[in-house]
Amino acid sequence: MEINIGLADVIRISPMIAIFIASLLPITTKVLSGNKEPNNLVTLIQGIAGLIIGLVLLTVVGGSGELAFSKSLVFDSVTLWMGSLAILSATGAIIMMYENYATNGRQFAELIFLALNSVVGMLILVSAMDLLTLFVGLELMSLALYLMIGMSHEEKYSKEAAFKYFLLGSFASAIFLYGTAFVFGTTGSTNLITFMQEASSLVQSNRLFLFGISFVILGFCFKVSIAPFHAWTPDVYQGAPTPHTAFMATAVKVVSFAAFLRVIATKSLVGSEGLFDVLQWLAVITMIVGNVGAIVQTNLKRVLAYSSISNSGYILIGVITAGVSDAGFFGASSVIFYLFSYCLMTLGSFAIVSILEKSENHMVTLDNLKGLASRRPVYAFCFSLFLLSLAGMPPSIGFFGKFYLFNAAVGEGLIWLAVWGVINTVISVYYYLKPIVYMYMSDGDAEIAGHNLNATTVTMIVSAVFITVLGVMSGPIFSAVEKSFIN
């Protein structure tokens, strides 16, 4: 096998290189200055600068549809949109890390190093066309995350969460690799492009290939917390420092779904009725488990964790639609738009949780929200906006995200999935309204944490503005996403 790596390849991965170099800056500074923690703000700015340079480079090199590194990486619309979304979410998350009790202060340089490397892993993941490259991206992203969670200043839950996440994540990776081995065994290649054409017939004719591709899909189901592989999510989301939870719930989920889309785009679902049915049921079960699970939670982070699970269910509807449709780009665009709206809402919600945390050991419960509206109207208003948007109330962006998603499903004849989706929306309204009840309709002495929270507040307000403005103006964005596929 001949491997040619030219300058063109290197230019295409320039976003990853840029972010990787930026990640080295703070940690090198720390080592050179005798292991003394550099100024956190400087570290943060280096991190943000690296991410923004990466984003700019990605918009330049991504989206062309070209391949790199012997077809193992591709830079198409999915890479461009999902990669940008992941970088932006990560930016929001590291801004929150700077001001959260559990993550700021000592070891902040190492944290930014890990976070940026995780983003590098994400970019590999969104652009990977080869199952093994995909695995490399997945592991780079996840290994950095395990460490980040374990590094939390919070003593009790974060270690448990890190270990749980590590164990189950490794388990998922193992399943994924196992599947990859079978795929390689039957097709002689791990590259999606090589078996893209015959995948739909192979799943019918070759049991081992079906077995392999199912295991690959199951591996993703773990990563994006599709029920019944979701059990780790609430615990890990609760135990991890809030900014990391935001990071996992947004950026990690976006890129995992991007890779999921790539595997699904091989049209394996078209060939295998069984796999298609199973995935549909998984979507339904996930929505129900997420929404019903959230109702009984009192810890705000767990509520949002279950909400994140149910959202995975909604997104899976879009992924399935993209997988069975002849014009899969419509489904894929709806997934991308939904993820975009979901990231805004989730990032904003976790920013609120971070703002409410009064120490690194403080677990924010619903009771901590009582009476927030009279004391801090802006925060309460923004949080209500996030929750109503998550519940899919028009004219917020959350409604349009769901509208495009269900529209794609109905267009593909998957009406029953759309019906399950909207029924679950109603269930979810109950727990999304509950924090609003606590904030506006109960008396209490809720207060935000006392220290400087400017950067997190800005993140929150930016999300809130986007949710309202982009909701009404969602049409052009969606068309832009969809057009980028056709070109």
Partner 1 sequence: MLLSTVILLPLVFAVFIAFWPQQRTLRHLALGFSLIEFFISLMILNQFDPGSARLQLVEKFTWIERFGIQYFVGIDGISLWLVLLTTFITPIIILGSWKSIDSKVKGFHACLFLLQTAMIGTFLAMDAILFYVFWELSLIPMYFMVGIWGGARRIYATIKFFIFTMAGSVLMLVAIIYMMYLTQQATGVMSSSLLEFYKVKIPFVAGTFMNQQTLLFFAFALAFAIKVPIWPVHTWLPDAHVEAPTPGSVILAGVMLKMGTYCFLRWVIPLFPDATEYWAWLFLSLGVIGIIYGALVAMIQPDIKKLVAYSSVSHMGYIILGLFVLNQYGITGGIYQMLNHGVSTGALFLLIGMIYERTHSREISKYGGLAGVLPIFTIFFFIITLSSIAVPLTNGFIGEYLILLGTFKAAPVYAYFAVTGVVLGAAYMLWMFKRVFFGEKGELVKDEHHPLHDLNLREIVVMAPLLVLVFWMGLFPNHFLNWTKSSVDHLVNNKNKYYLEIHETKVAKGYEYGN
- 3-state SS, 433-455, equals HHHHHHHHHCCCCCCCCCCCCHH
User: What CA–CA distance (Å, rounded) separates 471 from 155?
Assistant: 40
403 belongs to the binding site for partner 1 (CB under 8 A): yes
User: What CA–CA distance (Å, rounded) separates 291 from 53?
Assistant: 38
Restricted to residues 298-317, the positions that interact with partner 1 (CB under 8 A) are: none
- In the chain, DSSP finds a helix count (H) and a strand count (E) of 23, 2
Which of 18, 202, 332, 418 forms a contact with partner 1 (CB under 8 A)? 418
Which of 407, 444, 462, 468 forms a contact with partner 1 (CB under 8 A)? 407
CB 455 within 8 A of CB 443: no
Specify the amino acid at residue 238. Answer: Q
Which residues lie below 8 Å from residue 361, measured CB to CB, with a gap of 6+? 154, 155, 156
The values of phi and psi at residue 363, to 5°, are: -100, 115
Tokens of 404: 């495009």
228 belongs to the binding site for partner 1 (CB under 8 A): no
Least distance from C-beta 46 to partner 1, angstroms? 38
Nearer to partner 1, 247 or 438 (CB): 438
Dihedral sign (CA 254, 251, 340, 317): positive
CB 435 within 8 A of CB 300: yes
423 belongs to the binding site for partner 1 (CB under 8 A): yes
Least distance from C-beta 476 to partner 1, angstroms? 8
Which of 23, 43, 91, 425 forms a contact with partner 1 (CB under 8 A)? 425
Least distance from C-beta 320 to partner 1, angstroms? 16
455 belongs to the binding site for partner 1 (CB under 8 A): no
Which of 399, 401, 448, 464 forms a contact with partner 1 (CB under 8 A)? 399
SS3 206: coil
User: What CA–CA distance (Å, rounded) separates 462 from 351?
Assistant: 11
410 belongs to the binding site for partner 1 (CB under 8 A): yes
446 belongs to the binding site for partner 1 (CB under 8 A): no
174 belongs to the binding site for partner 1 (CB under 8 A): no
Least distance from C-beta 10 to partner 1, angstroms? 37
461 belongs to the binding site for partner 1 (CB under 8 A): no
User: What CA–CA distance (Å, rounded) separates 241 from 297?
Assistant: 18
User: What CA–CA distance (Å, rounded) separates 339 from 347?
Assistant: 12
143 belongs to the binding site for partner 1 (CB under 8 A): no
Which of 33, 201, 359, 479 forms a contact with partner 1 (CB under 8 A)? 479
Which of 189, 200, 327, 411 forms a contact with partner 1 (CB under 8 A)? 411
430 belongs to the binding site for partner 1 (CB under 8 A): yes
Angstrom CA distances, 232 to 141, 166, 222, 224, 313, stand at 17, 10, 9, 11, 16
Of the candidate spans 74-82, 136-144, 151-159, 473-481, the one that interacts with partner 1 by CB under 8 A turns out to be 473-481
User: What CA–CA distance (Å, rounded) separates 61 from 63?
Assistant: 7
Least distance from C-beta 117 to partner 1, angstroms? 38
Which of 29, 153, 440, 444 forms a contact with partner 1 (CB under 8 A)? 440
Tokens of 241: 């420092």
Least distance from C-beta 415 to partner 1, angstroms? 7
465 belongs to the binding site for partner 1 (CB under 8 A): no
257 belongs to the binding site for partner 1 (CB under 8 A): no
Restricted to residues 360-389, the positions that interact with partner 1 (CB under 8 A) are: 374, 388
Nearer to partner 1, 136 or 436 (CB): 436
419 belongs to the binding site for partner 1 (CB under 8 A): yes
Restricted to residues 324-353, the positions that interact with partner 1 (CB under 8 A) are: none
60 belongs to the binding site for partner 1 (CB under 8 A): no
User: What CA–CA distance (Å, rounded) separates 60 from 485?
Assistant: 16
466 belongs to the binding site for partner 1 (CB under 8 A): no
288 belongs to the binding site for partner 1 (CB under 8 A): no
Which of 295, 378, 422, 465 forms a contact with partner 1 (CB under 8 A)? 422
CB 245 within 8 A of CB 357: no
Least distance from C-beta 355 to partner 1, angstroms? 22
User: What CA–CA distance (Å, rounded) separates 76 from 192?
Assistant: 14
Nearer to partner 1, 220 or 466 (CB): 466
DSSP annotation of 229: S
What Rg do the C-alpha atoms of the chain give, in angstroms? 21
Nearer to partner 1, 214 or 311 (CB): 311
Nearer to partner 1, 92 or 371 (CB): 371
User: What CA–CA distance (Å, rounded) separates 204 from 267?
Assistant: 12
Which residues lie below 8 Å from residue 266, measured CB to CB, with a gap of 6+? 192, 195, 196, 199, 200, 213
23 belongs to the binding site for partner 1 (CB under 8 A): no
Tokens of 45: 């700015």
Q: Which residues bind partner 1 (CB under 8 A)?
A: 374, 388, 393-395, 399, 403, 406-407, 410-411, 415, 418-419, 422-423, 425-426, 429-430, 433, 436-437, 440-441, 474-475, 478-479, 482
